[in-house]
Structure formats: structure tokens, C-alpha cells
Amino acid sequence: MASISIIGLGNMAKVLGARAAAGGNAVEFVGRDAGKASALARTVGGGSASVSMDAAPSGDLVILAVPWESAVPVVQQHGTALDGKIIIDITNTFDLGDYGGRHVPADTSVAQQIAEVAAETAQVFKAFNTIFGTVFSRNEQVDAFFAGNDGRAKEEVAAFIKSLGLRPVYAGPLVMARALEEAGLLVMGLGRWGEKNYEFSLAVRKRSDAGV
């Protein structure tokens, strides 16, 4: 099991933190409001801890559960404290007002922008942005798409996803974070106009005769 720092104290921090703690990971919440952070750690339980934004995150995996526009500034704020860490970006970048396109240029993604400012020794991944918080909170096994460069860190991220009771589905190197960010917009559109609810998730369904 892994040690996890979750930066942000909102909906996704709570549901991710709860599943991570239940999965046997050491969870630390990192937030701007120390009282809110410790209250969240108490609510989630499972031995979870909290620290303020001034402290260096202690987890080997650092999850950015903040709005997309805060992701790069948060990584810059923590500077060398993130050296050697696995950074997991869960952000979606679209505008909920008009469901317009992503707020980053088409040839990049928030995750790639994070990689540009993070230490060379940090490994950046995109994950969880296609799963609604409501789905997360039900503790069911759903597909969790993730993207990031191949290697040992990829295996650690996959193991962490499994520890949450989810099925890791690798979408490719970090350049594929663009596709996952578009997929985040896709699930919102499906929820609003097609399914007319937010109680579903994207999945890979293999052909029964595929033989793989």
C-alpha cells in the first residue's frame, strides 16, 4: 500500500481519501484551511492525517484535487517538496456554464502543463477525471483511465488504483492526458443530455471472443 497526500479538501478529496484509507493506504489531507483539513481527516478516519499548505506533502503519491486553474500554481508553490513524487492530476478543465471546450490549448493538457513546471524527478499522471464523485462514493468497481509515462511509477499508480477497488485502464503516455481531459467533457455531456443523470461511468468492454 502507498502513502498518499491529497491537496484540496472538497468533494473529490473526500471520496478519494475515503476509498484510499479503506484500501489500506496512509492518507494525508493538505489544505489552505487547517481546521477544515483536520475535520476532513476525522470524517474520513482510517488513521488519516492533515497538514497545512505550508508543509511539505509527505505522501509518495500526491493527488491534486483542486480546480484546474490551481493545479500548476499548487505544484509551483510546493517546489522542491515534490521532487521524486508521483503527482496525480484529477482536474477537468471545461466550463460548466456553457460546456464549452477545455480551458487549455488543444495541443496540451493540465497534466502536461504540470509536468513542465514540476521537478524532472517527479512523475506526472492524469487519472480519475472521468469518474463522477457520486460514482466514486458508491465503492463499486469501475474502470479508472489513467495516462502517464511508462515505467515503475506507472505500476505504482496502477497498484494504487487497484487498492481503491477500481480497475486501472492505461490510456498511454502523458500526451494522452489531452484525450482524458476531453473524455471528462464527454461524460458531462452524456450526463446532461444523454443519460440525464450522473450515475454512470465510462468503461472498456472487450469482445467475448477477443482472446486477450
- Residues contributing to the site for ligand NAP (CB under 6 A): 7-13, 31-33, 36, 53, 65-68, 70, 73-74, 90-92, 128-129, 131-133
Nearest approach, Cβ of residue 130 and ligand NAP (Å):
7
Nearest approach, Cβ of residue 146 and ligand NAP (Å):
13
Non-local CB neighbours of 181 within 8 Å, separated by 6+ positions: 92, 93, 102, 104, 109, 110, 111, 126, 129
If 0-12 CB within 10 Å is exposed, 13-18 middle and 19+ buried, where does residue 29 land? buried
Taking the least distance from each CB to ligand NAP, the nearer of 11 and 163 is 11
Nearest approach, Cβ of residue 114 and ligand NAP (Å):
12
Quote the CA–CA distance of 125 and 181 in Å, as a whole number.
12
Kind plus residue range of the DSSP H or E element containing 50: strand 49-52
Taking the least distance from each CB to ligand NAP, the nearer of 177 and 206 is 177
Taking the least distance from each CB to ligand NAP, the nearer of 48 and 92 is 92
Taking the least distance from each CB to ligand NAP, the nearer of 88 and 158 is 88
User: Which of 139-169 are b and which e, b meaning 16 or more Cβ less than 10 Å from the residue's Cβ?
Assistant: eeebbbbbbbeeeebbebbbebbebbebebb
Q: Which residue is nearest to ligand NAP (CB)?
A: 10
